[in-house]
Structures are given as structure tokens and as C-alpha cells.
Amino acid sequence: MQQLWAPWRIEYIQNIRKKKEKGCIFCLYPKRKDQSKVLILAQTPLSFVILNKFPYSNGHLMVVPKRHVSQLEELSSEEGLDLFLVKQKVVEILRKVFKPEGFNLGMNVGKAAGAGIEKHLHTHIVPRWFGDTNFMPILTHSKVISEGLDKTYKKLSPYFKK
């Protein structure tokens, strides 16, 4: 039997049993003093960029409007434009840092669509490479993420400070 070494998963396992944080994390996290602890890379007045704590691949980021809305049509024109411009910048940075061969950008709007946090709209930006899918999801229902979140945050952070 081969072992899959993923020491960062223990936090997820332990947090399942812990009491959940009261309130919406997408509303609470941008107000926190230590942005690196909550994996926020950048903020505009209307949105922010955060690493996905449980990524599909290395460099999986989310762009989130600061205002608590659950539906795309609830965004103002200014919020929608800001969200789009931030997504463009995120893709540009991810191209420089990770050199992906493609991207998946998407929103899961509502529980039926697969939204993990259904009450606060957010966009996923997932870098993709040829061959980044393999037998692991099929045989073990697991994905292999080859870089820890702290390292990814440190790698991306300087690009978002410019």
C-alpha cells in the first residue's frame, strides 16, 4: 500500500469537530488584522482575493465581493466590474507565477449548483495543466495538491502587493 502524505489535511479533519465560526467567513475575514492567517492576498474597496483553503489544484484562488450577496444579479454594476477586473489581474499573476496551460473560472450559485458557501457569492479561479488529472480522483476520490498553502501564499503575495 502506498501512502499519500498530506499533513495540512489534519486541520480540516480537526475543524470538522470544532465549533464553526459564527457568521460568514467571507464577511469576517477581510476585517481581520492578519490577512495571511486567513489567506487573503489582496483587497479592493469592493472585493478581495483569497486562497481556497481546500484547493482543487495548486494556486486555486477565489475572488469574492465584500458585500454579502448570494445571487449574481444582486451585484451592482460597480461590484460586477470590480470583480471582473480583479479576476483578470488574478489570471495574469497566476500565469506569471505558476505558468498554467489553462484555467477554470466559475461560480457555483446555490446549493444545488455545488456552492460550499451558498450565501456569499464567490468566483473560483483554478489553474490547470495538461496531465493534472490522473488516477487518484478515480480510484481514491482524492486529489493530490503538491504544494502547501503557506508556500503558495508566500509565492503569490509579492505579486499582489505591487
pLDDT digits (tens, 9 = 90+) for 28-79: 999 999 999 999 999 999 999 999 988 888 899 999 999 999 999 999 999 9
HSE-up (13 A, CA, CB side) for residue 66: 14
Domain assignment of residue 13, yes or no: no
Domain count, the chain: 1
**First CA to last CA distance, the chain:** 46
Domain with residue 145: its CATH number is 3.30.428.10
**Domain containing residue 150:** 25-161
Distance of CA 146 to the CA centre of its chain: 16
pLDDT at 157 over 90: yes
Look-up: residue for cell 458585500?
Answer: 67
Residue 161 CB burial class (10 angstroms; 0-12, 13-18, ≥19): exposed
Over residues 118-129, the mean pLDDT reads: 93
Task: Place 80 in a pLDDT band, splitting at 50, 70 and 90.
Answer: very high
Residue of 130 and 67 predicted with greater confidence: 67
Q: What are phi and psi of 2, to 5 degrees?
A: -95, 150
Contact, 154 vs 41, CB < 8 A? no
Are 124 and 60 in contact by the 8 Å Cβ rule? The answer is yes
φ/ψ of residue 100, rounded to 5: -70, 160
Residue 116 is assigned to a structural domain of this protein: yes
Question: Does 53 fall in a domain?
Answer: yes
Q: Which amino acid is at 160?
A: F
User: Is 18 among the domain residues?
Assistant: no
Residue 99 CA to residue 77 CA, distance in Å, equals: 31
Q: Does residue 149 fall inside a structural domain? A: yes
Of the residues 60, 68, 122, 124, only one is catalytic, namely 122
Are the C-beta atoms of residues 25 and 48 closer than 8 Å to each other? Answer: no
Domain-embedded: residue 4: no
Whether residue 9 lies inside any domain: the answer is no
Active-site residue, 122 included:
yes
Burial of 120 (0-12, 13-18, 19+ CB in 10 A): middle
Q: Report the residue count for the chain.
A: 162
